[in-house]
Amino acid sequence: MIPENDKSQDEIFESILSESLELNHEAPDTHCGMIAIVGRPNVGKSTLLNEIIEQKVSITSRKPQTTRHRIMGIHTEDKYQAIYIDTPGLHIDEKRAINRLMNRAASSSIGDVELILFLVEGTHWTEDDEMVLNKVMLSGTPVLLVINKVDLVKDKEELLPHLEFLSQKGKFLDILPVSATKGKNIDVIKKHVREHLEPCEFYFPEDYVTDRSMRFLAAEIIREKLMRFMGDELPYSITVEIEQFKWQDNGVWQVNGLILVERETQKRMVIGNKGEKLKTIGREARKDMETMLDNKVFLELWVKVKSGWADDERALRSLGYGSE
Ligand SMILES: Nc1nc2c(ncn2[C@@H]2O[C@H](COP(=O)(O)OP(=O)(O)OP(=O)(O)O)[C@@H](O)[C@H]2O)c(=O)[nH]1
């Protein structure tokens, strides 16, 4: 289930922490805890989260920096509730305001969790991986190193020296090769996670899969389709606001989305020849929203130029970035 309204992320964090502190001494027979999923952009953090909770709550794409917000995915099974925090990819380039805010959102998730899933990819190791490694090691939290996308490693023998190389990088609970898209070794991740959950009352009702509202997820769905259908021509700084999200008397959800771009030329690209591109984006987004809401949706999209917003921290805050 998906809640209708967003609570502030800080509110949720605070109450989970204080409740688990208060309840620890009563030792209930349920267990819960928070797990941060961290890694550089594009290693597959959101794909892994969706695979673990078996539902799509975090958008994914081939383009780095798809995830811009901190999102919680909730997985409840038997007496265990694991609250996963999907974070924007951590990376070194902090020049633009949006990058600084995304890095802050990711870094603040690393403290105060029971376990960190540190994701890397195949047999690569980059400067950004090194930067993430330093941050997670400083946190003092147990770290499970997850090597994602092993399905892409043709010669599996190449993995062995890489595993050896990674084991020299720090003290990890385990180093686990997985494939998020093929569902390989996901059960082993879940087993590690269970072992780190503390006795506490469930924070979320058992049928919740995310802390985010339907309105927020609707904006994310539109952003995902923009990324999918615009490929490399997509303006990096594009953003989406939901102006209306309303249940209509005729039994349909009315959703009005505003797509903000930085330049007139970008607006023309999003709209496409005779409006074709925007129509495709709208059609595909509507289908996903109908699956999410299990109901008919009427979706209207507009594109508007809002110049220079990606460099302006204040404007970003007004759009909800950095307030988490
Ligand atoms: N082959 C393969 N591709 C994967 C796997 N996991 C993720 N991908 C692909 O990698 C790309 C990036 O995945 P995301 O889940 O968006 O990555 P992310 O780490 O959340 O990215 P950011 O939002 O940039 O931080 C997508 O095209 C995924 O389909 C995997 O196990 N195997």
* Rounded mean pLDDT, 191-212: 90
Supply the residue whose CA is at minimum distance from atom 1 of ligand 1: 149
Written as six digits, the tokens of 176 are: 């686990």
Residue 250 Cα to ligand 1 midpoint, Å, equals 39
Q: Is 120 in the pocket of ligand 1 (CB under 6 A)?
A: no
* Rounded mean pLDDT, 114-128: 93
Per-residue model confidence (pLDDT) at position 323: 41
User: How many residues in total does the chain contain?
Assistant: 324
Supply the residue whose CA is at minimum distance from atom 7 of ligand 1: 44
190 annotated to a ligand binding site: no
Q: Read off the pLDDT band of 45 (50, 70, 90).
A: very high
pTM: 0.72
**81: part of which helix (H) or strand (E)?**
strand 80-86
Domain locations in the chain as residue ranges: 31-199, 214-319
Burial class (CB in 10 A: 0-12, 13-18, 19+), 302: middle
Measured CA to CA, the distance from residue 246 to residue 297 in angstroms comes to 10
Ligand 1: residue of 60, 98, 151, 234 to mutate (most ligand atoms within 8 A of CB) is: 60
ipTM: 0.98
45 annotated to a ligand binding site: yes
**Top-confidence residue, 53 or 12:** 53
Q: Read off the pLDDT band of 292 (50, 70, 90).
A: confident
Which long-range CB contacts under 8 A does 286-291 form with residues at least 24 apart?
288/221, 288/224, 288/225, 289/218, 289/221, 289/253, 289/255
Does residue 324 surpass a pLDDT of 50?
no
Sign of CA dihedral 263, 60, 224, 316: negative
Residue 44 Cα to ligand 1 midpoint, Å, equals 3
pLDDT digits (tens, 9 = 90+) for 233-265: 776 678 899 999 998 888 899 999 999 998 899
Superfamily of domain 31-199: P-loop containing nucleotide triphosphate hydrolases (3.40.50.300)
**188: part of which helix (H) or strand (E)?**
helix 186-195
As a CATH number, domain 214-319 is 3.30.300.20
46 annotated to a ligand binding site: yes
Partners of 120 in the beta sheet? 147
